Amino acid sequence: MMNTFPEHFLWGAASSGPQLEGASAVDGKAKTVWDHWYETEPDKFYQQIGPKNVSDFYFQYKEDIETMKELGFNSFRTSISWARLLPDGKNVNEKAVVFYRDVFTRLIDNGVKPIINLFHFDMPYHLYVKGGWENRDIIHEFAFYAKTAFECFGDLVEDWVTFNEPIVPIEMGYLNDKHLPAVFDIQRAFQAGLHTMLAHVYAVKAFKENAYKGKIGIILNLTPSYPSSEDPADQEAAKWADVLFNRSFLDPAVHGTYPNELKQFIEREQIELDYEEEDLVWMKQYTVDFLGVNYYQPRRVQAGDTDPAHDVLQKYFKPYQWPDAKMNPHRGWEIYEKGLYDIAIHIRDNYSNIPWYVAENGIGVEGEERFIDNCLGEVQDEYRIVFMTDHLRWLKKGIDEGSNCFGYHVWTFIDNWSWLNEYKNRYGLVRLDLETMERHKKKSASWFYKLAKRNALPENW
């Protein structure tokens, strides 16, 4: 069948501890940066919904895992909360161990492979006040946390990832005001980015040196960079956007070294970075076993502006709005399904055709309650079905042409809390009632079940 995916293909969804669990101050969990930010500036959060309860998975995980089985999932990715497992950074919280072990065991018992991420933007607050990713100590703090997780759960978890979208806290925290520390400082951004990458490297080192079973990877949000024209200046702009926002983590994770163009950027901008020579040795040696790719939108750029009064990055490239773009008006993001195919071929040709999977892909819609069918009591989210179908068609084309993709995870399972936007845009296959915490399957849930069970997109979809 033309639309059949490879045997043992992974079907499921992704989420994270801070966006799904809730119970942010329960059973010994320590404060994270998000808990702190909400305490101090709740007005920054949409409808003043904080991270305390979110989607209540901590208390409803047993029923939620049953629902995953009903949706045909054979895999699910979430994250461990660093602040829950090691509240003081040193001593294991046994209540956290009991919780996560039961979650992972129940997933396995229901035929759902756990893919477990170590960090999803939720820096423990006690480490943040010491400098967070700017403090070199964080590298070894993270490696210790990773090793602790491997020892506590390695008999249950065989697929680990160190970070989800490590570029995001750097971009949003050091070149924007959407994550803490909410500063605009290219020097601090690069140092924090280097320490993040080294934290990943030392975690992979701990995993492989101790010969834990399974595989370890990283999840990156790859945004293909498309120039506005064939003009050499626009082509150059696309190159710089790709180097800074894709290759800055992709190359060291897979190839074990930073791209030369990134080194050129650092020299041009006179950025001073502190590191030790052995860091680069370990980076070269401890590369990933597989790659997760989050894809939502492309990046379209045009030639930069040489005026030094502008933002540093705008010297290299500026955003470009493609006139023919198909947009999600609720998120302000372009929907460009072919981008997933372009990523598949890029990985095949330039990254040793490393095993990879789509770790996130989905569409968020504001005011989704207006699509509830009053008779069925169900959200009629055909737009989500169309979005996934069109992306999967392009993904299948990439697989047919030899790209080594082994799975597809939608973002997300149940509507979950999002950074500063909270529940403004709904992404789930299952709707969450914020007042009662009740769950209700959307139309896309039954569609996804058929997709996963058939391991294929029928011709008429």
Q: In a 10 Å sphere around its CB, with 0-12 CB exposed, 13-18 middle and 19+ buried, how is residue 126 labelled? A: middle
Helices (H) and strands (E) in the chain, counts: 16, 19
In the annotation, is 401 catalytic?
no
- Six-digit token pair at 143? 């490696």
Among candidate residues 242, 254, 185, 183, the one with its CA nearest the CA of residue 218: 254
Contact predicate 402/380, CB 8 Å: no
Which of 141, 165, 171, 334 does the annotation list as catalytic? 165
Strands 425-426 and 365-366: antiparallel
Which of 171, 360, 378, 422 does the annotation list as catalytic? 360
Residue with tokens 């756990």: 114
Query: How far is it, in rounded angstroms, from Cα 354 to Cα 215?
Result: 13
Contact predicate 73/452, CB 8 Å: yes
Q: What sign does the CA torsion over 155, 157, 160, 163 have?
A: negative
In the annotation, is 165 catalytic?
yes
Among candidate residues 181, 167, 187, the one with its CA nearest the CA of residue 123: 181
Among candidate residues 218, 224, 253, the one with its CA nearest the CA of residue 238: 224
3-state secondary structure of 430: strand
- Concatenated DSSP letters of 185-218: -HHHHHHHHHHHHHHHHHHHHHHHHTT-SSEEEE
Query: How far is it, in rounded angstroms, from Cα 84 to Cα 81?
Result: 5
- Six-digit token pair at 444? 């896309």
For the annotated catalytic residues, the residue numbers are 165, 360
